[in-house]
Amino acid sequence: MSTLPLPTERESSSPWGRVTRALPTVLSSLLAIAIALLAGAVVLALSGANPIPAYEALFAGAFGGRRELAETLVMATPLILGGLAFAVAARAGLFNIGIEGQMVVGGLCAGLVAAWDPGLPVFIHLPLAVLAGMMAGSVWGFIPGFLKAQTGAHEVITTIMLNYLAYRISTVVIGQENFPLVNPALQATLPALENARLPRLIEGTRLHAGILIALAAAAVVWFLLYRTVFGYKIRTVGLSPGAAAFAGIPWGRTIALAMLLSGLLAGLGGTVDALGLQGRYYNVTLGIGFTSIAVGLVGRNTPFGVVLAGLLFGALASGATKMQNTAGISRDIVYVLLAFVILSVSALAVAQQFRQAKRLASRARGMTRDRAAQDAGDPLVEPSPPSRAI
Amino acid sequence: MTIQDDNGTAPAVEMRGIVKRFPGVVANDGIEFAVRRGEIHALLGENGAGKSTLMNILFGLYHPDEGEIRVNGRPVRFESARDAVRAGLAMVHQHFMLIPRFTVTENIILGSEGAGIMLDRGSAGQQVAELAGRYGFDIDPEAIVGALPVGMQQRVEILRALYQGGKTLILDEPTALLTPQEVDELYDVLNRLRESGDTIIFITHKLREVAAISDRVTVIHRGRTVGTRATKETTASQLAEMMVGRAVSLRVDRPPARPGEPVLVAEDLQLLGSQGHAALNGVHLELRRGEILGICGVEGNGQAELIEVLSGLRRPQRGRVLLKGQDVTATGPNSRRRMGLSYIPEDRHGRGLVLPFSLTENVLLGNAEETPFSSGGRIDYPRSRTLTERLMRAFDVRAPTPDIAAAALSGGNQQKLIIARELHREPDALLAVQPTRGLDVGAIEFVHKQLVAERDKGRGVLLISFDLDEVMDLSDRILVLCEGRIVGDFLNGTVTRTELGLLMGGRGLDEHAPAAD
Amino acid sequence: MRGRRRTLDELLSFFSVALLTATLRSAAPLVFAAMGGLLAERSGITNIALEGFMLMGAFAAVAGTWFFHSPLIGLIVAVVVGAVGGLVFAFWTVTLRADQIVAGTAIVLLGLGLTSFLTEHIWGQAGSSPPVERLPTIGLGMNILLPVAFLLVPLTHWFLFKTKAGLRVLACGEKPEAAQAVGIDVARYRYAMVVISGLLAAVGGAYLSIGDLSQFTTNITAGRGFIALAAVIFGNWMPWPTMGAALLFGFAQALRFQVQALDLPIPQDLIIALPYLLTLVAITGLLRRSTPPAGLGRHPTGG
């Protein structure tokens, strides 16, 4: 069965143990990125562009100065949240390809609430707008989770369809001529009121409080996944539905809730962009949702990894702008790099799983010979696990 | 140099000095094995001695690290199963390599469809029917294989081997899924094949089968050949000693049972299976404290469904389950767990454990929501870990720390961990399904001891096993499950193996049974 | 009486030849991709990369037509590109055995990114290529690829259920271990089916860019590759029902223009959203029980 490249290493509570065991995984993620960058350079070269100034501009745009670093953090913010969304769903065994749509509805609702003016003070209006975004995202995430729980509908297709529906809803709402909260000409909501914006952190940069929210969310997700019963249920369901049933963990309810949480995080991602960066919601797709998938995968679906990967991809995004302005390379090359990263990660993950299988097999004591053959991958005696039907 | 037998003809198969290594273990360590043409040769060894690996090498599915193989005197190197088939070998696997959704004909011709693009199902079906008739098989070529009973499916496998032109058949534990009566039918088939000149290699760990059907037997132990004997010139205990490397006592010591009040009762359970048939067809049973109640039967007669209903994973369409007198039919596994029912599942990897989780997290399975493991939704790791360590010591789970992944443990240690977890709850009733599947002798001994200990503590143990020997060794009372119904209820010692076999196979006790036991 | 006749007239003019041809034209690219997806899935590989192959094919067709001044050459370029894409996907999923959904998603992203990047790079304008020559038409606005699409359906059915190779493909998808045990090279058949799926999906994309329109625009496929896969699932992995599903989705897409033409009081946005809503409903299996190939996503191991 094709499985997610989850860390099949033991998950334990000892911090040092976790760090040392995570090292090979971190290295392989870095290796994947290096390979992707190399492949990207080949693509650039083949299409007649010089990769060296392009990559120079990329790195300069990401790390070149105080403003650039701030910009990297700005770009990283929604990616971290999107990556967390992917990771939470992945832990439950689901592929949330609908992060894009969840961000759209989250940003839209947050933008609308933020533009609404009943004269609320900041400590009510801002949380309210954020809450609206989170709730919209969680509904959009809950739907495919619920459908899968009830009917078995594969979440890849349902989330993708919901993406398209989200774009449509956004276009319809933003396009309403008579709706006071939107500006159809600008293809956006009206500007968010001062009281509903995330504060700027550093003057002269675009860095806003969203990054703090993202980091806090990562900590909360970690705690939830590894220190609560709910998180334990999610991880059990994702790793072994059979064991989950044995433990009396309701599969349907758990995955639906996991998707709700995933959508909530994605919606939060759309929200912080609207309320922190843009100051309003724009009806335009930025592909952040798809990038979040790469963030989750490279981050190995762990909160810590997702933060690191989010920062990395934020660097890529902020560098891409500079690359476009300076070296004249279209920003779309970033999608290509993204795809290469995903391909490398998935390839390396297989190699890692295989190495791990060998390591575990050799550590087993008292193992019988034919059992060792079984565990080394002989399917002739052990029945195969159930396949994912799509 | 080729060994020649008394007739001067080359052996059908010769394997010399076969070495095969897997990560961390040498599965075959210089095996010598030769089979004469036209004989039935048993390859005997314990679970995991290396027999299946050896045959997989012979059939081209694995490549040996060292050694030589000769077929009919000629040295061969098989790159894949296809080469082996071309050399006249055919393999019938323990878990059938049949495609359930295909018809009998489609399964048989797969891989040997012949030249040309078009598939002529009609003439292929005729060929199959003809071949079946020649060997006396009674098979409908157009039947869907998934709907056939197990014994019939095996015959399809054998027929396929013959269709492919197999003259040397390798059968891997062929009787594992058969009733004793189907086993007799299989022996008839094999005798017929031998009469028509085919050679048969028969992998098994059951002494009885060696005596019943084979001409010669080779014993494998820990990856090495112990010796080859003519079956008629050796005794069961000699073979057993060769097989396990020491003198074997085949009985489990235990004091007599003292059953008390009923602790787990099932009344008229009815459940429809996945194919719409009645998987449970009115099951009644009563498990008492202080006894081991063993349920024997051939796999697929309702055991899985019975366990699901008893453990709370599924609701029956009709009937009740009573735990300590209370109706728990509508409750799930967790409530039953809290009420004192524990469950050692058949599937260690798929149900009993989450392999990537640490040992501590595996102990949480089924216990996570209770003290001392958690409180208020928050897991108390330090405490859970300490408790796991304590359990590991008490149940001899050999691992350096409770932080390693369960996947790193051997099968025996994994099972011990599961047992530790389930017994930690001090249940009143314990469900144990196939508790020693795939374990080595030492682990089997340990598990059996634990089950008896539980019984002696006054708890009820329900044992479901497809290994009739295990059921007969351990149980105080034996039930027979056949086609979703309990068809026999005996005190152990008042029923013979043959009688149980007849009931397992769906035949009544008033039929004539073969004399040998 | 008059009112009822008018409604009847409206109804009849609604189900006009125009709607029929529009349905066929909308369904054709879906049929190409769906037949390809069906073959890949029947061999046991989950194929959500169809969208990526379609995009690559659409782009390659336009690029080929532009460079070589011939839409037929453009079509050939699309075929080659699709086959190469399929080869890459096959390598990742069959040889490397990477997660099939992850790899498929990557292919889709690759398609999106590469085609957008190259569009801007080659023609300097972001978002679309310059117009190029279209494929020849056979009347009623249908191009030569359209009948090919629908001929593929009986061809696929014949291949899978009437040929020896087809039986083997089915075996690879149902129980790869069993296929391997009788000496079938499962990897080879899976490679073949996946390459064909890439090829066919690319032709579907070419249909969009040089058959229907006459240029490539970013995201010209707008999810058709996923809808095609939904058609396969809805069609229970059987060729004729899959075609039926594709026609249904094509009908939903064609409805948009018909509604516009007749000026019916149905909001356009609902019509645009209809194919996606329909896919959503179809995929929940509310309408039928689905029986996928039992070995989908599984690999035989050994050695």
Domains recognised in chain B with CATH numbers = 13-244 (3.40.50.300), 258-340+426-434+455-517 (3.40.50.300), 346-425 (no CATH)
Which residues in chain C touch residue B97, judged by CB atoms under 8 angstroms apart?
175, 177-178, 181-182
- pLDDT tens column, C106-131: 999 899 889 988 888 888 777 788 88
Q: Which of C30, C22, C31, C43 lies closest to C171 in space, CA to CA?
A: C43
Using pLDDT thresholds of 50, 70 and 90, give the confidence band for residue A371. very low
Q: What is the rounded distance in angstroms from the CA atom of residue B10 to the CA atom of residue B220?
A: 23
CB contact under 8 A, C174 and B101: yes
Domain CATH number, residue A319: 1.10.3470
Kindly identify which residue of chain B lies nearest to residue C178, measuring between CA atoms: B97
CA nearest to C303 within chain A: A378
Pairwise CB contact (< 8 Å): B110 & C294: no
Nearest to A362 among B24, B52, B353 (CB): B24
Q: Which residues of A touch C105 (CB under 8 A)?
A: 95, 97, 290, 293, 342
What are B478's two structure tokens? 């034996």
Q: Across the interface, do B110 and C180 touch by the CB < 8 Å criterion?
A: no
Q: Which residues of B touch C302 (CB under 8 A)?
A: 61-62
Alpha carbon distance A142, A263 (integer Å) = 7
Tell me which residue of B383, B100, B311, B33 sits closest to C293, measured CA to CA.
B100
Judging contacts by C-beta atoms under 8 Å, the chain B residues touching residue C181 are: 61, 81, 91, 93, 97
Percent with pLDDT over 90 in chain A = 37
Chain B CB within 8 Å of residue A368 CB: yes
What would the mean pLDDT of B116-134 be, rounded to a whole number?
88
Q: Is residue A101 within a helix (H) or strand (E), and if so which, with residue range?
A: helix A99-115
Choose among B97, B113, B119: nearest Cβ to C177.
Answer: B97
pLDDT score recorded for residue B243: 73
Bridge partners of B66, per DSSP, are B19
pLDDT bucket at A1, cuts 50 / 70 / 90: very low
Taking an 8 Å cut-off on Cβ atoms, the answer to whether A158 and C96 are in contact is no
- C244 at the A interface (CB within 8 A)? no
Which residues of chain A are within 8 Å of residue B354 when distances are taken between CB atoms? 235-236, 239-240, 243
> 3-state DSSP call for residue B165?
coil
What average pLDDT does range A10-22 have in this prediction?
48
Q: Do B97 and C167 touch (CB under 8 A)?
A: no
For helices C239-262 and C17-42, the axis angle rounded to 10 degrees is 150
CA dist B417 and B389 (Å) reads: 11
Residue A9 Cα, gap to closest chain B Cα (Å) = 6
Per-residue pLDDT, C273: 86
B297: alpha, beta or left? (left if phi > 0; alpha if psi -120 to 50): left
Q: How confident is the model at residue C64 (pLDDT cuts 50, 70, 90)?
A: very high
The predicted pLDDT at position A378 comes to 38
Query: What whole-number distance in Å separates Cα of residue A229 and Cα of residue A237?
Result: 12
For residue A387, being part of any structural domain is answered with no
Q: Inter-chain contact C164–B99, Cβ cutoff 8 Å?
A: no
Residue C143 has pLDDT above 80, yes or no: yes
Report the candidate in A265, A227, A242 with the shortest Cα–Cα distance to residue A93: A242
Q: Is residue A26 part of a domain?
A: no
Could you report the per-residue pLDDT of A181-208, keeping only the tens digit for each?
Answer: 888 888 888 888 887 888 888 877 788 8
pTM: 0.81
Closest-CA distance, C10 to chain A, in angstroms, reads 28
Asked whether residue A14 is assigned to any structural domain, the reply reads: no
Does A227 lie at the interface with B, CB-CB under 8 angstroms? yes
B434, burial (CB in 10 Å: exposed 0-12, middle 13-18, buried 19+)? buried
Q: CA nearest B164 in C: which residue?
A: C182
B396 touches chain A (CB under 8 A): no
Please state the separation of Cα B427 from the chain's center in Å.
27
Q: What is the reported pLDDT for B505?
A: 67
C295 touching A (Cβ < 8 Å): yes
In chain A, the residue whose alpha carbon lies closest to the alpha carbon of C297 is A1
For the CA atoms of C250, A139, A171, C269, what is the dihedral angle to 10 degrees?
40
Which residues share a beta bridge with B344?
A: B432
DSSP label of B231: G
* Residue B1 reports pLDDT greater than 70: no
Write out pLDDT tens, residues B434-455. 898 777 777 788 889 899 999 9
DSSP H stretches of helix in B317-410? 333-339, 359-363, 381-394
* Confidence (pLDDT) at C156: 96
* CA trace torsion A191, A193, A196, A197 (10° rounding): 60
Residue C200's φ and ψ, nearest 5 degrees, are -65, -40
Q: What is the ipTM of this complex?
A: 0.84
- Which domains can be identified in chain C, with CATH numbers? 24-283 (1.10.3470)
| A window 208-227, beta carbon within 8 A of C | none
Contact status, residue B35 vs residue B89, Cβ threshold 8 Å: no
Angstroms from C147 CA to nearest CA on chain B: 25
Among chain B residues, the shortest Cα distance to A384 is held by B350
Q: Is the peptide bond before A191 cis (omega within 30 degrees of 0)?
A: no
Q: Is A19 exposed, middle or buried (0-12, 13-18, 19+ CB in 10 A)?
A: exposed
Angle between helices C71-90 and C186-206 (to 10 degrees): 150
The closest of C195, C281, C245 to C30, measured between CA atoms, is: C245
Per CB-CB distance under 8 Å, the chain A contacts of B27 are: 369-370, 372-373
Q: Which of B447, B464, B373, B376 is nearest to B411 (CA)?
A: B447
Q: Given the structure tokens 């890459």, which residue do they identify?
A: C88
Q: Is A160 within the bounds of a domain?
A: yes
Measured between CA atoms, the residue of chain C closest to residue A150 is C284
| Choice between A176 and A225, residue whose per-residue pLDDT is larger | A225
| Distinct helix (H) and strand (E) counts, chain C | 12, 0
Split into its structural domains, chain A has a count of: 1
What is the rounded distance in angstroms from the CA atom of residue B432 to the CA atom of residue B426?
A: 14
Q: Are the CB atoms for C200 and C151 separated by under 8 Å? A: no
* Chain C contact for A168 (CB, 8 A cutoff): yes
Residue A274 resides in a domain:
yes
Q: Which helix (H) or strand (E) holds A226?
A: helix A210-227
A342–C229 C-beta distance less than 8 A:
no
Q: Does A376 lie at the interface with B, CB-CB under 8 angstroms?
A: yes
* Chain B 142-171, residues with CB within 8 Å of chain C CB atoms: 160, 164
Question: By CB neighbour count within 10 A (0-12 exposed, 13-18 middle, 19+ buried), where does B180 fall?
Answer: buried
pLDDT computed for residue C4 by the predictor: 62
Residue B264 in contact with residue B323, Cβ under 8 Å? yes
Among C137, C116, C129, C111, residue whose Cα is nearest residue C66: C129
State the smallest CA–CA distance between residue C2 and chain A in angstroms. Answer: 37
How far is it, in rounded angstroms, from Cα C235 to Cα C229? 10
Report the C-alpha gap between A354 and B257 in whole angstroms.
49
Is the model's pLDDT at C12 over the cut of 70? no
Residue A377 contacts C where some CB pair is shorter than 8 Å:
yes
Q: Cα distance from C34 to chain A (closest Cα, Å)?
A: 13
Residues 6+ apart with CB under 8 A from A349: A5, A28, C98, C99
Give the neighbor-by-neighbor strand order of the sheet with B278-288: B278-288, B262-272, B318-323, B326-327
Residue A13 in this model has a pLDDT that exceeds 80: no
- Nearest chain A residue to B401 by CA: give it: A12
CB pairs under 8 A between A and C: 176
* pLDDT number for residue A357: 58
Confidence of residue B246 (pLDDT cuts 50, 70, 90): low
Q: Tell me what the pLDDT averaged over chain B comes to.
A: 84
Residue in the structure block whose two tokens are 């524990």: B342
Percent of chain B at pLDDT exceeding 90: 29
B245 has pLDDT over 80: no
Domain span at residue A290?
A: 56-325
Separation between Cα atoms, residue B197 and residue B110, nearest integer Å: 25
Residue B61's nearest CA partner among B81, B77, B83, B86 is: B81
Element (H, E) at B199: strand B199-204
Token pair recorded at residue A106: 């989250």
User: CB distance from B409 to chain A under 8 Å?
Assistant: yes
Nearest CA-CA partner of C229 in C82, C59, C96, C104:
C104
Would you say residue A34 lies in a domain? no
With a CB cutoff of 8 Å and minimum separation 6, the contacts of A202 are A70
Question: How far is residue A247's CA from residue B343's CA, in Å, rounded to a whole number?
Answer: 10
Work out the number of other CB atoms within 10 angstroms of the CB of residue C300.
Answer: 20
Domain contains A128 = yes
Is some CB atom of chain C closer than 8 A to the CB atom of B114?
yes
Query: Which residues does B457 contact at the CB level (< 8 Å), separation at least 6?
Result: none
Predicted confidence at residue B493, as pLDDT, reads 84
Contact between residue A208 and residue A271 where contact means Cβ atoms under 8 Å apart = no
The candidate with the shortest Cα–Cα distance to A296, out of A336, A275, A269, is A269
Partners of C143 in beta bridges: C137
Q: Do C277 and A165 touch (CB under 8 A)?
A: yes
End-to-end Cα, chain B, rounded Å: 42
Is residue B117 predicted with pLDDT exceeding 80?
A: yes
Comparing C273 with C28, which gets the higher pLDDT? C28
